[in-house]
Homo-oligomer: A and B are copies of this chain.
Amino acid sequence: MSPQIEAKIRASFAKQSMMNTFGAKLAHVGAGSVAITAPILEGSKQQQGFAHAALTFAIGDSSAGYAALSVMPEDHEVLTTEMKINLLAPGTGDHLIARGRVIKPGRRLVIVQSDVFALSNGQEKQIAVLLGTMVPVPIAA
Residues in A lying within 8 Å of B, measured CB to CB:
12-13, 15-18, 20-21, 42-48, 52-55, 57-58, 61, 77, 79-89, 103-104, 108-109, 111, 113, 126, 129, 131-133, 135
Complex contacts, A43 vs chain B, CB 8 Å: 17-18, 20-21
Cα(A18)–Cα(B55), bound, Å: 9
Instruction: State the oligomeric state as a number of copies.
Output: 4
Interface of A is mostly: mixed
By beta carbon, the residue of chain B nearest A112 is: B86
10 pairs of A and B residues whose beta carbons are closest in the complex? A54-B58, A18-B52, A84-B84, A21-B43, A15-B47, A88-B104, A17-B45, A12-B47, A82-B86, A131-B131
28 A–B contacts from the bound complex (CB under 8 Å): A12-B47, A15-B46, A15-B48, A16-B46, A17-B42, A17-B52, A18-B44, A18-B45, A18-B52, A18-B54, A21-B21, A21-B44, A47-B77, A53-B58, A80-B87, A81-B87, A81-B109, A82-B85, A82-B86, A83-B85, A84-B84, A86-B103, A89-B104, A108-B108, A109-B135, A111-B129, A129-B131, A131-B131
